[in-house]
A and B are shown apart, each in its own frame.
Chain A
């Protein structure tokens, strides 16, 4: 199983090496990077490329490590016992399998996506150390050990909100998705909008990279925002001249709502436009 990018996803060479190393040695791959650089999408695309099923586990601040293994539904067992249901005698009827269990027992080697692991409690990664290392865990209620038939390929994403423990990091491969340079960005756009006008893209790209250079932006626009913006531009069918004009009076690009998500950033741009206009008059 090798990953070489897909039709819809442009993978840089270092990313391919990292994914292939993780897939060959079956160690978890930890992905970090700016928001909107395609961390989560990576898992979907790896699954697609390898023809493997994808199991997604989205982490929230309330998620516990145990929920990934299994949960014991005591309440419904209590209710069933009141109603005299036959199922009540077998405790395994009330064990709900978690995502890790699902991944360990899947027929075909799956890709397990643990999305935004940093959202959970600080202790969360530590609670999963053994499980990720040995790929097995013990179910106390039934006394059975769940062991992975074949070690799943695990992709973990993090937004750096919390530092992850060293012991956890040691077990992972790590890749930091860098913000794509202009060349890679062009490739990404070609993949998403094959029939878009070349000129339009060129203008849009240069506006986009200029915007990222503006100092003091709270949230720099990222790849996913650029793709949204292009979609809008195509939909509105704006004449190319509008983008091209680069009129100092209109510093704010058309349909900027897709790129700037923060009213302070929009204000900053308006201020810059105002300064430009004043300078233009002199």
Chain B
């Protein structure tokens, strides 16, 4: 029963197990819910989904399985302003047709548009509710992917949109929301508890054992247990990074409160022979990168934060830097740093789907041995996991 639903959920990478499926069947058998499909939706949601970030994906799968909609959950369905659709309509319809339709209202336009697109491209048989323009790309110049543009359910026919069609949980998808507190939670994955430093905590177990052994009160102290992970963070600053300042600020404030042993430095585009700690005095107070490599031991974890978008010459040629004459290319420096600090990641504030368009992004990603992650909650978590794994 509902095995199809179960396999679809797994195909959508929602972590459901047989145990949950059996629970659902058990609940159905013991008549927890009535016969309404909404109730079944609520019940299956609370049985299968254990992470609010997965709720939106669940809604999509549910819609697909029980309504026969075609969905692709990898592609972000863009919210397209009405004007654009109107423009598209203008391109497809003649003027008289537009006038005729305008009297009917916007929903009708969309209906007509859908029909028209169906006819023109001959690939929308079966009256789907979705317009997927696929090969034809009317919004190409604006840089938006029209694939999977959703045009308002069954509007215009007086039917209410179903609960799961509302996709009310869209905001909670885990690559969207980001904030200091959330980042802190993500950073917490990178923890290595150790006891070192001053002995200031009473070790009760050892005290009891010691007292029993010696026959008099033997108090044993030990250092407090704390997060001993050590981190070096390098922030790309200025230029194309200006648009990402807010996210970087949030990451910085979360990281500085989460990691007790954290050192940060700034660089521009690529780390070259020198970096700096105060952006106002970036020319007067530069710290040679070699000093950093020599000062901090190799068990430090290395995190770069930057958009990795620059001219490819900056990566691979001497003198490629936009700001000064560099004797050695950026890639030499990057390699030097990752040689010293084996566990290193690069966090990139640009959405992952745009990486393929930047040559320098690809080059740096290869230099980092693919350890480049988007600066989203999901990306940070994965980066921290990588840092914990490698030593």
Contacts and interface: CB of A to CB of B under 8 A. Distances in A.
Q: How large is the interface on A (under 10, 10 to 19, 20 to 34, 35 or more residues)?
A: 20 to 34
Given A17-B33, A17-B42, A162-B185, A178 B50 contact: no
Contacts of B38: 13
A170 interface: yes
A141 B215 CA distance: 26
Contacts of A160: 185
A240 B15 CA distance: 52
B184 to A, nearest CB: 9
B46 interface: yes
Residue from the set A163, A166, A175, A176 with the largest chain B CB neighbour count within 10 Å: A176
Interface string A161-193: 111101001111111101000000000000000
Interface in B48-104: 49-52, 55
A170 B17 contact: yes
B17 A17 contact: no
Contacts of B51: 169, 174
A259 to B, nearest CB: 19
B42 A14 contact: yes
Contacts of B43: 17-18, 21
Given A14-B42, A170-B17, A21 B50 contact: no
A25 interface: yes
A162 B17 contact: no
Nearest to A161: B185
B222 interface: no
Contact of A17 (B30, B46, B49): B46
B20 A170 contact: yes
Contact of B50 (A14, A27, A169): A169
B191 to A, nearest CB: 9
Contact of B27 (A25, A163, A164): A25
A59 interface: no
Interface string B165-205: 00011001000000000000100100000000000000000
A21 B29 CA distance: 11
B42 A32 contact: no
B29 to A, nearest CB: 10
A32 B172 CA distance: 12
Nearest to B179: A218
Contact of A170 (B19, B45, B52, B185): B19
B27 A24 contact: yes
Nearest to A176: B52
A69 interface: no
Contacts of B27: 21, 24-25
Contacts of A20: 32-33
A46 interface: no
A172 B48 CA distance: 9
Interface string A212-238: 000000000000000000000000000
B30 A174 contact: no
A106 B202 CA distance: 38
B174 to A, nearest CB: 11
B42 A27 contact: no
A65 interface: no
A30 interface: yes
A140 B252 CA distance: 48
Interface in A1-59: 13-14, 17-18, 20-21, 24-25, 27, 29-30, 32
Given A24-B27, A160-B185, A174 B32 contact: no
Contacts, number: 66
A161 to B, nearest CB: 6
Main secondary structure of the interface of B (DSSP, over half): helix
B32 to A, nearest CB: 5
A178 B168 contact: yes
Contacts of A170: 17, 19-20, 50
A30 B42 contact: no
B39 interface: yes
A17 B188 contact: no
B207 interface: no
B167 to A, nearest CB: 12
A173 B47 contact: yes
Contact of A174 (B15, B49, B169): B49
B26 interface: yes
A175 B26 CA distance: 18
Contacts of A27: 23
B33 A25 contact: no
Interface in A132-174: 160-164, 166, 169-174
B23 A176 contact: no
A17 B32 contact: yes
A130 to B, nearest CB: 15
A166 B20 CA distance: 12
Nearest to A216: B246
Contacts of B49: 174
Given A13-B38, A17-B33, A162-B188, A174 B26 contact: no
B326 to A, nearest CB: 38
B291 to A, nearest CB: 36
A161 B182 CA distance: 8
Interface of B: 15, 17, 19-20, 23, 26-27, 30-33, 38-39, 42-43, 45-47, 49-52, 55, 168-169, 172, 185, 188
> Which 10 A-B residue pairs are closest in the complex by CB-CB distance?
A17-B42, A169-B50, A18-B46, A14-B42, A176-B52, A21-B32, A174-B50, A173-B46, A24-B32, A170-B19
Given A21-B33, A163-B185, A176-B172, 13 more contacts: A13-B38, A13-B42, A20-B33, A21-B27, A21-B47, A24-B27, A25-B30, A32-B52, A170-B19, A170-B50, A172-B50, A173-B23, A175-B46
16 contacts: A17-B33, A17-B46, A21-B27, A21-B43, A21-B46, A25-B27, A25-B32, A29-B46, A164-B50, A170-B17, A170-B19, A170-B20, A170-B50, A174-B50, A174-B51, A176-B172
